[in-house]
Amino acid sequence: MANIISIGTAVPEYKHAQEDILHFMQKAFGLNNDEKRKLAFLYHHSSINTRYSVVPDFGQPEAEWSFIPTDPTTPFPMLDKRMELYAQHSLPLSVAAINDCIDGYIHPPEITHLITVSCTGMSAPGLDLQVVEAMGLAANINRTSVNFMGCYAAIHALKLAKMICDTHEEANVVIVATELCTLHFQQEFTLDNAASSLLFADGSAAILVSSKTTAPHALSLQSFYSQIAFKGKNDMGWEISNKGFLMSLSAYIPQLIQEDISSLVTNALANGNLTTGDITHWCIHPGGKKILEVIQKQMNLCDCQMAYSKEVLSNYGNMSSASVLFVLKSMMEKMPNAPANVFGVAFGPGLTMETFIASSV
């Protein structure tokens, strides 16, 4: 049996108010007054109050910028510089999240499997080996990496963890999803870049899935279901360039999700032999305000059922793959001592829609 035992989180030291990021972007993009007003409108309707970043610039006066050049004619950092910052910050964030996750449950040498998740940085040797060395994990530990799958990647990793636990009765699987989205802010003012600038943030989340360790409020992973809407394959994308990773994020994404979410949920629940009425908690990836609104409307969910996702969006923004684990952590911490069925869903390039169902043990 694969049980979710605990979740830990970590964020960078720089916490930026959304209003401060707006002012930074208006300057960095070199906008005229009309463009400034349009960007301000988008920011003020984002339902995001604060975000975290490894980059201090977003909340500092222009004279103190260190990553983004103050001269608009100077090119932004190239990919190698962005990856240097990823290498510098991804490891300590990952270790902090893992320590927060396993504290009181297991010791680092008891981790049998490690799954690292990220779509914002890659190298070889990669984050998985760096974590093993930094935490003194066993040199023969089983490890794998889920790279470049976007916001739904943590659910894919949970699927792998369940497969491991179902076949290894002594397994303690740790998944760590670490995303430094703000490293990839782009210089050109486009709709995609504007959307990315107001939405994405940095953070790390680790989750312990085990077939042997127990916890009072553990959740048992029951089933998974994935569905692809190929009509949206050009509306959400993530490409590597010498200027950093380029995000394509169409304004049609909420509409596409609105069209398909009902059938997705119906199929996922049928796959898990449950109905909508059986679900007590909805763990929805906070991909953005519009996405949460259309899901709430289509699934006829009340505000209290959306509260966890909205709270994470407000306090952290969209941290890509780590976000849904932030939601699940908050949910598990406040879950009453009563039978529960959790339905989780996240979205990513493809357009891929990935779900999981977990039940109280």
CATH number at residue 351: 3.40.47.10
**Burial of 144 (C-beta count, 10 Å sphere; 0-12/13-18/19+):** middle
Instruction: Establish if 17 belongs to a structural domain.
Output: no
| DSSP character at residue 200 | B
pLDDT at 192: 86
| DSSP character at residue 318 | B
Average pLDDT rounded to a whole number, residues 208-216: 92
Tokens 């927060």 belong to: 100
Residue 314's domain comprises 219-360
pLDDT at 178: 98
Side chain identity at 124, as an amino acid letter?
Answer: A
Instruction: Establish if 185 belongs to a structural domain.
Output: no
Beta carbons within 10 angstroms of residue 200's beta carbon: 26
pLDDT at 252: 72
Element (H, E) at 219: strand 219-228
Quick check: 234 pLDDT over 80?
Answer: no
Tokens 């300590």 belong to: 92
Quick check: 241 pLDDT over 90?
Answer: no
Quick check: 16 pLDDT over 90?
Answer: yes
What percentage of the chain carries pLDDT values higher than 70? 100
Crossing angle, helix 33-44 and helix 18-28, to 10 degrees?
Answer: 150
**Furthest CA-CA distance within the chain:** 62
Tokens 């891929």 belong to: 352
Reported confidence tier of residue 361, pLDDT bands at 50, 70, 90: confident
Reported confidence tier of residue 238, pLDDT bands at 50, 70, 90: confident
Three-state secondary structure along 53-87? ECCCHHHCCHHHCCCCCCCCCCCCCCHHHHHHHHH
Instruction: Establish if 274 belongs to a structural domain.
Output: yes
Instruction: Establish if 312 belongs to a structural domain.
Output: yes
Minimum mean pLDDT range among 80-94, 150-164, 242-256: 242-256
Quick check: 250 pLDDT over 80?
Answer: no
Tell me how many domains the chain contains. 1
Beta-sheet pairing, 50-53 with 14-17: antiparallel
Edge-to-edge strands of the sheet including 202-210? 142-147, 113-118, 172-180, 202-210, 3-10, 219-228, 352-360, 341-348, 281-284
Reported confidence tier of residue 130, pLDDT bands at 50, 70, 90: very high
What SS3 state is found at 179? strand
Write the pLDDT tens digit of every residue in 46-76.
999 999 999 999 989 989 999 998 887 888 9
Instruction: Establish if 148 belongs to a structural domain.
Output: no
pTM: 0.96
Beta-sheet pairing, 172-180 with 50-53: unpaired
**Burial of 280 (C-beta count, 10 Å sphere; 0-12/13-18/19+):** middle
Cis peptide upstream of residue 313 (ω within 30 degrees of 0) = no
| DSSP character at residue 120 | S
Instruction: Establish if 279 belongs to a structural domain.
Output: yes
Instruction: Establish if 317 belongs to a structural domain.
Output: yes
Minimum mean pLDDT range among 4-8, 72-76, 78-82, 195-199: 72-76
Instruction: Establish if 20 belongs to a structural domain.
Output: no
Quick check: 244 pLDDT over 90?
Answer: no
pLDDT at 239: 82
**Residues 232, 229: Cα–Cα separation, whole Å:** 6
Average pLDDT rounded to a whole number, residues 146-171: 96
Quick check: 349 pLDDT over 90?
Answer: no
